[in-house]
């Protein structure tokens, strides 16, 4: 099942890149939780449900960023979790300041659907959270 989970997360990344909300709804559990990035400005943020995630990335993100994208570099199978090592790129809407940082996400899956997403500023912390070592 775990390689299937990796494929689900890859499909999620492709759908998110296209902002294909219908496809995302197929991949994400209706009660999904998106937790703010540990070590980031929104660490305490918790968004629940597909509507909340859509609002977060389609409306709120667009108020702050001219561009905000994730470029996956590696998908790591961790059983019912998948760790994504990624490069995150952002360009501020009002400032024009560009940022490019290496981050990670841990996605938890159940029955082939994503039930929890947690971002990490520190890749080693993400691997540790998934029970892996760098």
Say which CATH class 2-129 falls into. Answer: alpha beta
Q: Please report which confidence band the pLDDT of residue 77 belongs to, taking 50, 70 and 90 as the band edges.
A: very high
Q: Please report which confidence band the pLDDT of residue 91 belongs to, taking 50, 70 and 90 as the band edges.
A: confident
- Beta-carbon neighbour count of residue 78 at 10 Å? 19
Share of the chain above pLDDT 70, in %: 93
Judge whether 118 and 38 are in contact, CB under 8 Å. Answer: yes
State residue 56's pLDDT score.
75
Q: Please report which confidence band the pLDDT of residue 13 belongs to, taking 50, 70 and 90 as the band edges.
A: very high
pLDDT of 52 above 60: yes
| Burial profile 79-94: b = 16 or more Cβ within 10 angstroms, e = fewer | eebbbbbbebebeeee
pLDDT of 67 above 90: no
Q: Please report which confidence band the pLDDT of residue 65 belongs to, taking 50, 70 and 90 as the band edges.
A: low
Angle at 36 between CA 32 and CA 42, to 5 degrees: 145
């Amino acid at each position: 099942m775990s390689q299937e989970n990796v494929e689900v997360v890859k499909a999620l990344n492709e759908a998110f890149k296209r902002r294909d909300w219908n496809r995302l709804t197929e991949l994400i559990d209706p009660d999904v939780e998106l937790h703010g990035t540990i070590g980031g400005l929104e660490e305490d943020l918790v968004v629940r449900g597909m509507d909340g995630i859509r609002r977060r990335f389609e409306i709120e993100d667009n108020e702050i960023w001219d561009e905000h994208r994730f470029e996956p570099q590696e998908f790591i199978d961790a059983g019912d979790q998948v760790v994504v090592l990624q490069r995150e790129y952002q360009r501020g809407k009002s400032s024009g300041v560009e940022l490019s940082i290496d981050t990670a996400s841990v996605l938890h899956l159940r029955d082939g659907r994503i039930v929890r997403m947690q971002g990490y500023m520190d890749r080693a912390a993400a691997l540790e959270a998934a029970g892996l070592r760098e």
